[in-house]
Structure 1
Amino acid sequence: MVYETINGFANGVNYKNREDYQKKKRSKKGGVLWQSGMIGAVHTFGRNVGFNPHVHALIPEIKTRGKEVKDMEYFDYKYFRKVWQFKLINYMISKRPERKVEYLKMFKDYPNGFYINAKSRMKSARGAARYIGRYLARPAIAEYRIISYDGKNVTFWYKSHETNEKVEETVTAQVFVGRLLMHITPKYFKMVRLYGVYAGSISVKVRKCFGLLHYIKSGLKAI
């Protein structure tokens, strides 16, 4: 049920984004808007192996409009926080209108928007590939973080988000295995989603554009 909810929220917010984009596109003279993209990977586990659903997002520093491709080096993360909060809360209200008052209270409880941890920019395509690859295949806990098992209890460590200090935790083997099992996704659950320039035929066009740019910069002449 939990994974169905996460999947439903992800699909719903994505559908609303597409709908809003099409509305803006129709209202704009010429009907062409700048578009970027995102690779989103859903994770359900936190550092202590507890249930903490979140999304890792990889965003390119480019934008496209028709045949144009331009650099996009600035991102307003304060704005992203607000938009993420607005989209998600409104989708939650559409699915559970009886809890509207409770959901709207989150605007007051989180005046700066929902949490977004903006990492520093990546300097190479190889580094970006390693980053997203690591998160796509990452288990709930790495083996080296498990300190001991005495036949009844498991002791492991993690770094606290609040203090960034190492924290050790001991739980029963049953609790530890239970935490791991709840992060096994059901069959066909979509962990990775592609948006904008990464999606379908658009990504093919973008790759062709970059191929042509590299060709032009190389100074080679066509035969």
Structure 2
Amino acid sequence: MQAYFLRPRHCVFTIPEELRSFFLNDRSLLGELFYSVRDAILYMFSKMNKIENFTPGFVCVLHSFGRDLKWNPHIHALISEGGAGNITPWRIVKHFDYTFLRNSFRKVLLNRMSKHIGPSFKKVKNEMYTKHSNGFYVRVKPNSCTPDKTIKYITRYICRPVIAASRIDKYDGYSVTFHYSRHEDDALVTETVPLLVFIKRLIVHIPENISKSFDTMEFMQNITSKKKISENAFPVRNVGSYVPYLIWKQSILLTFGYDPLRCPKCGTSMLVLEV
């Protein structure tokens, strides 16, 4: 089981350009984006066998900008190529249902946005089903690099700046010239924009104090009495509701070689106050 938990699939969940302004004007919708990705992943694994209701492990990272620095919120997810079931301790899953993920992600996200925004969103919601009849874009291709490189690639997104200094080619006091590789064809693009436009593209990505850029989901569970999917069933902060913490502690220790309950600063063992 450990070998395949350490072989995550790197997936990217992207929202259409027509919806991006909603997330810019109301940053709390970014939380709905996290939950929508979570639900789509869990539904895909669960439908493989409803009795087993397989649960994967995954880490989600929010990325708010595209290569051109414009507002483009999307989620990078590392998903284990396998899941734990109600009966089977672990089943390897190599095939990710691309079509199902696209349609499920579209449905869940639009429903959550509709509930959050209200009746005024109904027209936009209907238009999204018409314009994006094949669902919202989800990249689920198998990784072409080793697991450690994939994990390092994702961790960069947690603290990565909007643009590296090496991509800024020129500044003359009035405008800024920078370059990037276009996502569609990997072609090199050079763009020159007024200074204030450049600054605006940067500061729009400054997160609010209450926001978060990543979330972790747990695959461990009590296989004899697994609960149904609920709003707070899978974040690690609520792992106690799913698995005895000692089993969780031992699994982390065996898999990653460190005690998750030991304080990295003082070395003392922390106590689980709430399960």
Higher radius of gyration, 1 or 2: 1
Q: 2:139 matched to which residue of 1?
A: 117
Cα deviation 1:110-167 (Å, max 9, x = unaligned): 1111011234326544223212211112111111111111111100011223333111
Whether 1:52 aligns to 2:72 is yes
Q: 1:215 matched to which residue of 2?
A: none
The residue type equivalent to 2:36 in the other structure is V
CA distance in 1, matches of 2:190, 2:145: 34
In the alignment, is the contact (CA less than 8 A) between 1:89 and 1:104 conserved in 2?
Answer: no
Instruction: Give 1:14 deviation, angstroms.
Output: 7.0
Question: Within 5 Å, which residues of 2 pair with 1:6-155?
Answer: 6-7=30-31, 9-10=32-33, 13=36, 17=39, 32-66=52-86, 68-95=89-116, 96-121=118-143, 124-155=146-177
Q: 1:221 matched to which residue of 2?
A: none
Report the structure, 1 or 2, having the larger helix content: 1
Query: How many matched pairs?
Result: 203
The residue type equivalent to 1:13 in the other structure is S
Identity across the alignment (%) = 30
State the Cα RMSD in Å.
Answer: 3.0
Q: 2:27 matched to which residue of 1?
A: 3
Q: TM-score, normalised by structure 1?
A: 0.78
Instruction: Check 1:207–1:168 CA distance in 2 against 1; reply closer, same or farther (3 A cut).
Output: farther
Instruction: Check 1:123–1:163 CA distance in 2 against 1; reply closer, same or farther (3 A cut).
Output: closer
Cα deviation 1:79-120 (Å, max 9, x = unaligned): 111110010111122222233132112111011110112343
Instruction: Check 1:135–1:209 CA distance in 2 against 1; reply closer, same or farther (3 A cut).
Output: closer
In the alignment, is the contact (CA less than 8 A) between 1:61 and 1:72 conserved in 2?
Answer: yes
Whether 1:193 aligns to 2:215 is yes
CA distance in 2, matches of 1:159, 1:185: 25
- Structure 2: tracts of 5 or more residues without a match: 1-24, 221-234, 256-275
In the alignment, is the contact (CA less than 8 A) between 1:36 and 1:196 conserved in 2?
Answer: yes
